[in-house]
Amino acid sequence: MILLQHLVDNTFRRVRSQTANLLTILNLGLGTMAILFVMQGQLGITVALIVVAAVFDRFDGKVARKLNIESEMGKQLDSLCDLISFGLAPALLIYQSTLHSFGVAGSLATVIFIACGAIRLARFNISDHKGYFVGLPITAGGCILTITYLLEGVIEPHVFMFIILTLSVLMISSFSVKKA
């Protein structure tokens, strides 16, 4: 009986210690599904998946802090998953919907957004900034870019080019944003 209790306690501790990482992996899964739906031309579903990924991303850090299970691995994992869900997926969404019509310039704008997101995340991971972010967080940039898809047909295509490049610059800029 004591052995069984020990096994249950160990299992509970292991599951509890990975709760935040599980939420992060769900974020990754949703971002990956968003990319797959972009490839299938189902852009509306892509928007929904990215928005739901943002919900999971919002809670993984909160759960880690609440359960006191923050870790360097969790921080790195979160950044890698964020690059997929809020860098790659939104950029491909806007590329597929609008920027492809700009040819090489649209492709470059897409790559620039993803690269600036990667730089932003790498800079965050090596910084000591407690209580604030430097530059626009990739989650915010990716969600803003995703929501602009809803304006397709309402605003001119060149405005999407301006938006993606502006968000790219904002992610690598040096202004401070207080953490919520």
Q: Considering only residues 49 and 19, tell me which one the structure prediction assigns the higher pLDDT.
A: 49
The answer on pLDDT for 67 being more than 60 is yes
Is the separation of the CB atoms in 31 and 83 below 8 Å?
no
pLDDT, residue 10, reads: 59
Q: What is the mean pLDDT of residues 110-133?
A: 90
pTM, two decimal places: 0.89
The answer on pLDDT for 15 being more than 90 is no
Helix (H, G, I), strand (E, B), or coil: what is residue 131?
coil
Measured distance CA(132)–CA(124) in Å, rounded: 10
Task: Give the Å distances, CA to CA, from 177 to 113, 134, 174.
Answer: 19, 6, 10
Q: Where does the pLDDT of residue 128 fall: very low under 50, low under 70, confident under 90, or very high at 90 and above?
A: confident
- What residue spans define the domains of the chain? 2-178
Measured distance CA(162)–CA(160) in Å, rounded: 5
Q: Considering only residues 15 and 136, tell me which one the structure prediction assigns the higher pLDDT.
A: 136
pLDDT, residue 42, reads: 98
**Superfamily, domain 2-178:** CDP-alcohol phosphotransferase transmembrane (TM) domain (1.20.120.1760)
Measured distance CA(1)–CA(165) in Å, rounded: 62
Q: Of 17, 34, 10, 149, whose CA–CA distance to 83 is shortest?
A: 34
Measured distance CA(143)–CA(146) in Å, rounded: 5
Q: What is the mean pLDDT of residues 155-169?
A: 97
pLDDT, residue 135, reads: 93
Q: Considering only residues 176 and 145, tell me which one the structure prediction assigns the higher pLDDT.
A: 145
- Token readout for 107 is 């492709």
Computed over every residue of the chain, the mean pLDDT equals 90
Q: What is the pLDDT of residues 26-43, one digit of tens each?
A: 999 999 999 999 999 999
